[in-house]
Structure 1
């Protein structure tokens, strides 16, 4: 399948569609049971709290490590691409762009990159607006 704006998000099936829904179901079950089972209310409440903590940690740790590393790589890719296209350091424009804008520009082909970069600087396009303006979408299939 060709990657484009409408299908560029990536999901990890075991994490997003099995583990997280299961943990959410455990939280709901625990809360529900804590109201229904007065004899074991404390146990069900603790079960709910523990399930929530595991759910929260699973989301935050996975995202924190993966996205932190990915963001560094996206910045380095932007710098290298800028250097290749313009033959100079990107430091002067980096300070004027948000990370979202830099990340969005990676989906543009080289000829569009220069045009969209100029528009992003002049028109203050958001990352999402840049992605929507890309005509020749360059797939990023290696992201986390």
Structure 2
């Protein structure tokens, strides 16, 4: 497998990013356009509101599934990174570190990890800055 780096660590889910999202957006835009067209032609009806509501209701479950998966994943990453820090230092991780920083630190090798955690807390590094500081990347192919 190709080595992960700052430039190629982003993961896309083809069905989610390239099919469901574009189709949902186009369906919503077309439906809104159709409703506006009907209103301008004095052909507004309750059925149009039901159509718009149906389109919105069709999109919501996909959005919720994604939000729930990412929220759960973030909780798991927090737990994994707290355990990883403890295993490497025999100390608890600083509570000031944010979940976004932990997610960025997920990619750091064990050799760089403790130093980057300490810097992230001390200098309040952004996730992007943390990722730029990683020299040896740990692969993560299991993200949602």
* Class of the TM-score when normalised by the shorter of the 2 chains: 0.7 to 0.9
CA shift for structure 1 position 13? 1.2
Q: 1:108 maps to what in 2?
A: 108
Of residues 89, 92, 98, the one that matches 1:90 is 92
Higher helix fraction (1 or 2): 1
1:102-141 superposed matches below 5 A? 102-141=102-141
Classify 1:115/1:89 alpha carbon distance in 2 versus 1 (closer, same or farther; 3 Å): closer
1:1-144 superposed matches below 5 A? 1-37=2-38, 38-39=42-43, 41-59=45-63, 61-86=64-89, 88-91=90-93, 93=94, 95-144=95-144
Equivalent residues of 1:109, 1:138 under 8 A apart: yes
Equivalent residues of 1:101, 1:120 under 8 A apart: yes
Report the Cα distance in structure 1 between the residues aligned to 2:43 and 2:141, rounded to whole angstroms.
52
Report the Cα distance in structure 1 between the residues aligned to 2:116 and 2:36, rounded to whole angstroms.
56
Equivalent pairs, count:
140
Report the Cα distance in structure 1 between the residues aligned to 2:111 and 2:16, rounded to whole angstroms.
37
TM-score normalised to structure 2 length? 0.84
Aligned alpha-carbon RMSD (Å): 1.9
Report the Cα distance in structure 1 between the residues aligned to 2:108 and 2:70, rounded to whole angstroms.
21
TM-score normalised to structure 1 length? 0.84
CA shift for structure 1 position 133? 1.0
Report the Cα distance in structure 1 between the residues aligned to 2:82 and 2:96, rounded to whole angstroms.
14
Report the Cα distance in structure 2 between the residues aligned to 1:44 and 1:28, rounded to whole angstroms.
14
Classify 1:110/1:30 alpha carbon distance in 2 versus 1 (closer, same or farther; 3 Å): same
